[in-house]
Amino acid sequence: MDYLPVFMDIRGRSCLLAGGGEVALRKGTLLSRAGGRLVVVAPEVCAELRELVEARGGLIHERPFADADLDHMALVVAATSDNAVNHRISELATQRALPVNVVDQPDLCTFIVPAIVDRSPVVVAISTGGSSPVLTRQLKEKIEQTIPAAYGRLAALLGRFRSRVKSHITDFNLRTRFWERLLDGPLAGMVFAGREKEAEEYLLAELQRGAAEERTSQGEVYLVGAGPGDPDLLTLKALRLMYAADVVLYDRLVSPEILQKVRPDAEKIHVGKRRSHHPVPQEAINEQLVRLAQQGKKVLRLKGGDPFIFGRGGEEIDRLAALGIPFQVVPGITAASGCASYAGIPLTHRDHAQSVRFVTGHLKDDEVDLDWAHLAREDQTLVIYMGLVGLPNICTQLVAHGMPATMPVAIVQQGTTATQRVVIGTLDDIAARAEDESIQPPTIIIIGHVVALHRELAWFNVERDAGDA
């Protein structure tokens, strides 16, 4: 973020507005709507601004700006046509640690004024950091169309009951769950239809039920696939549950960008593993899921890719099911599908491959123990997870069991992310290419004739193709 979004309470506080023209009028109108007491300083003040200030009990000083005008102000807006004056105001306000905005000069601002969708007490602020006012305006128009005006009445109703709910449901997580269930139900529709009395009665009834549930709360586990890395590949259900969870257990392959979409106040626990380093054994993860759920919490088990494809998700739900703990499984786009698509490699193609196999190349006793005779067929695509360390042995075994040494191979590193790299070679040289290119996990290895289509179909053009090096 270039700016920290902050909502500032200026009700009844003095706000200096330097400038008296049309631009100052726009800023003054916004400050006034937020309850600020306008103090306008300008040699000339337009009629509309004068009327606004007088109607709201503000002050007008028809003269040039003076340093003492900053005394006792909550914030400052400079909207004059004189750049030297604007610079002076910005410098003095910054020295006093006063928030200052200079219209259309971001470099002189300590805060900027966003576009606003006002459904008070619901307020949505939109900003592009001054980089594109037109885009900001278009985003505002879209949000204006999306959020009905009645959301303000809904927020006011919830606010009136907030302290009562807090006293009836003392546990924070259960209270959060109560509000989520309430807003997912018919309450909002009642308010939008103007049936606010009925909405209040419904809220009271739900509050009694929620207080009873606090004494018999049951947790739940969400086993969610986070996909291969690009946050845009998350499913809608995954996003919804990510924001509902009280605590998150996440793998090393879950990208920071995806983790940012988890509810900000959720507890986050890293349980990731990497080759030959398992600081949190799988059995310990299973028991941690059980313990947290038995405490009545909503537990998100967030896994890279899909939880049921080399993700050991089956082991986790086995333990949950044995103890009668409710769980949901949300599939994710597996690394094979996502990485292949972003690299422009179709996993099947009627001219090249009529089937695809997903296998793990994870070493056991320093050997990759696979059914090489069946894997060496030419009419299929092989996708190998966790195969980088065993790549030389994989290539040797496939050639030894009949696959041509010239079979195309692709290694996709950090697939679907902005740092994706693709190295193309053949069975007889891909291991050397990977070493030359310093390829590091996480990777997916794709073997088959479909890899040859990479050059003409690749659209995610951030890779470095070692074949062109």
Q: Is residue 273 annotated as a catalytic residue, yes or no?
A: yes
What three-state secondary structure class fits 143? helix
pLDDT at residue 436 in the model: 95
**Residue 160 CB coordination number (10 Å):** 11
CA max distance for the chain: 92
Q: What percent helix, strand, coil does the chain show, rounded to 5?
A: 40, 20, 40
pLDDT at residue 217 in the model: 63
Angle between helical axes of 172-184 and 151-168 (0-180°, round to 10):
150
Residue 432 CA to chain centroid, in angstroms? Answer: 38
Contact 1, 114 (CB under 8 A): no
Distance CA 45, CA 177 (A): 52
Catalytic residue among 140, 261, 268, 273: 273
Nearest to 410 by CA among 362, 334, 349, 345: 345
Q: Is residue 251 annotated as a catalytic residue, yes or no?
A: yes
Nearest to 210 by CA among 170, 157, 155, 154: 170
Residue-wise DSSP of 359-410: EE---BTTB----HHHHT-TTEEEEEET-STTHHHHHHHHHHTT--TT-EEE
**Residue 176 CB coordination number (10 Å):** 17
Contact 121, 155 (CB under 8 A): yes
Catalytic residue among 27, 251, 303, 306: 251
Q: Which residue has the tokens 């619901």?
A: 122
Distance CA 119, CA 112 (A): 21
Q: What is the pLDDT along the chain (469 residues), one digit of tens a residue?
A: 788 888 999 999 999 999 999 999 999 999 999 999 999 999 999 999 999 999 999 999 999 999 999 999 999 999 999 999 999 999 999 999 999 999 989 899 999 889 999 999 999 999 988 788 899 999 999 999 989 889 999 999 999 999 999 998 888 878 888 888 888 889 999 999 999 999 999 999 998 887 776 555 678 999 999 999 999 999 999 999 998 899 999 998 898 999 999 988 899 999 976 655 557 899 999 999 999 999 888 999 999 999 999 888 999 999 999 999 999 999 999 999 999 999 999 999 988 898 999 999 865 555 667 889 999 999 999 999 999 999 999 999 999 999 999 999 999 999 999 999 999 999 999 999 999 999 999 999 999 999 999 877 655 444 444 444 3
- Helices then strands, each counted (H, E), the chain: 17, 17
Residue 288 CA to chain centroid, in angstroms? Answer: 25
Specify the pairing of strand 298-303 against strand 247-250.
parallel
Strand order in the sheet with 380-385: 355-360, 380-385, 443-447, 408-413, 421-426
Q: Which residue has the tokens 């074949």?
A: 467
Contact 337, 347 (CB under 8 A): yes
CA angle 254, 259, 261 (to 5 degrees): 135
Contact 96, 70 (CB under 8 A): yes
Contact 348, 373 (CB under 8 A): no
Contact 225, 311 (CB under 8 A): yes
Distance CA 465, CA 73 (A): 59
pLDDT at residue 319 in the model: 93
Contact 169, 182 (CB under 8 A): no
Contact 110, 94 (CB under 8 A): yes
